[in-house]
Structure 1
Amino acid sequence: MPSLVIIKTGDAFPEVVEQHGDFEQLFIQQLREALPDGMTLSVWDARESTPTASPASLAGVVITGSHSMVSEAPPWSEALKPWLKQALADDVPMLGVCYGHQLMAAAFDGVSDYHPAGRESGTHRVRLTQAGQQDPLFSQLPVSFPAHLTHAQSVMQLPHKATVLAHNSHDAHQALRYGPRQWSVQFHPEFTAPVMRAYLERQRAALRDQGEDPDALISGVHDTPEASGLLRRFLAFV
């Protein structure tokens, strides 16, 4: 039976896990009802072992976020890079999110590192590029749409063949495509508004330190149905 694999690269904050579920559970909640007949969902924790199955044996791959940093090169993260390269070569459908976005870019010879402008957190608007407006996954989105974001690192240098599909004033690389069915996004389509608020509550001190108003960011959180819809539309490509 074909399997869509969620590669888990980290854990959410304990209070988020307790109230809303861990990263992989947030994805499962969004994907389960739209899963094609005969397809299963499974979870691999990349921190425990590198996937052993051939990428070509899978229906597709989703890579979660993490509180780790790609530039710090955790051994488990580095070990995953050759597997991701093989998945790209095998044209396996992939969607990387946040850490997954940065890891895919780094695996395909780009550079992910700390953003010089600091952290981006909250519900912010993202804008499609011309390529994004014509992309098979993104073309159904409005040109500008809100998305939940929380990241200190970004894709700072594109892989050679990557196409930029979305950007905003903070980050020039909010969404990328690497091949016919391989995408990654800096924003969190799996987050709900309560999860985003919980992240902002935890980040109050860090946000104040960089001159932002946590209360204003929290009050600005709202649902992001366009961004969340990407997960279900991705299933059309697996």
Structure 2
Amino acid sequence: MKNVLLLKAGEAAASVRLSVGDYDRWFLQTVGLSGYRFEVLPTHQDAKLPEDVARYDAVMMTGSPLSVTQLEPWMERAAQFMVDAAERGVPVLGVCFGHQLLAHAYGGRVVRNPLGREIGTVEVELTAVGRMDPLFRGLPQRLAVQATHEDIVPEPPEGTVVLAGNANTAVQALAFRPCARGVQFHPEVQPDAMRALIQARAERLEAEATARGQPPGERVPKLLAGIAPTPYGRQILVNFLESFL
């Protein structure tokens, strides 16, 4: 049985939690519990971080409605914890907010994406290095994933390597250290969760679209119609848990 520490970095909107559960549940459901024991730690609620990371086989961090551009003390502590774990050889995976927090911890920048929010089922392309990386073992060069974010890592921090990107976000995945990875997209999110996320943000999404000159009332139906299965998401998480331990 492998012990995985899941650092929870925030909560989904109430309507989302009621219909499809919260961030931690998505990870557990997508990965499955066979062979893994997950300990969920609500770092966003200032939960005390473990003193001995060596008792975990891996560390993962969820997404968050909060932003690394507005750092809080708990974020700095969690960032240092993940860096310490990675430098000790404990596998670390940051997802969305977790990816951005790792980038910050390793000296990178996090900014609001000038191209606007990326949300829905999108396509990312693996780089030449990404195609060889264990995180994406067995996956095609282009793959569909679920995404929802406004912030991005605009360029890779020094000493890191870009593993995937797309037209909206050039840095969709990073290798920080031999056993530390970050992905901007959400491998844990299933279509029902993405649908709930879009519906919960419908008013804001339409306002963003009209502000950018798009016809009113079109963006949300288009996003909902574009939601598709993303079976490679689970494979990415399993690859991390199986290939980096």
- Common topology (TM > 0.5): yes
Task: Output one character per residue of 1:68-126: Cα deviation in whole Å (capped at 9) or x when no partner.
Answer: 00110022111222212211210111111111111111111111121111111110101
- Map 1:6-17 to 2 at 5 A: 6-17=6-17
Count of aligned pairs: 235
Structure 2: 5+ residue stretches without partners: none
8 A contact 1:3–1:60 mirrored in 2: yes
Q: Where do 1:117-156 residues align within 5 Å? A: 117-156=115-154
Task: Quote how far apart the aligned CAs of 1:33 are.
Answer: 3.6
Tell me if 1:227 matches 2:233. Answer: yes
Alignment partner of 1:41 is 2:47: no
Moved more, 212-221 or 39-48: 39-48
* Equivalent residues in 2 for 1:1-238, closer than 5 Å: 3-35=3-35, 39-47=36-44, 48-211=46-209, 213-236=219-242, 237-238=244-245
8 Å CA contact 1:60–1:93 kept in 2: the answer is: yes
**CA distances 1:146-166 after superposition (whole Å, capped 9, x unpaired):** 111110101123221111000
Q: What amino acid is the match of 1:19? A: S
Does the Cα contact within 8 Å between 1:2 and 1:59 map onto a contact in 2? yes
C-alpha contact (below 8 Å) 1:97/1:187 kept by paired residues: yes
Give the direction of change, closer, same or farther, for the CA distance of 1:181–1:146 in structure 2 (3 Å limit): same
How many angstroms does 1:34 deviate by?
4.2
Q: For 1:104 and 1:201, how far apart are their aligned partners in 2?
A: 29
TM-score, reference length from structure 2:
0.91
d(CA) in 2 for partners of 1:227, 1:29: 12
Does the aligned pair in 2 maintain the 1:34–1:232 contact within 8 Å? no
Task: Give the counterpart letter for 1:154 in structure 2.
Answer: I
The one-letter code sitting in structure 2 at the alignment partner of 1:206 is: R
What SS class does the counterpart of residue 26 from structure 1 fall into?
A: helix
Amino acid at match of 1:42: E
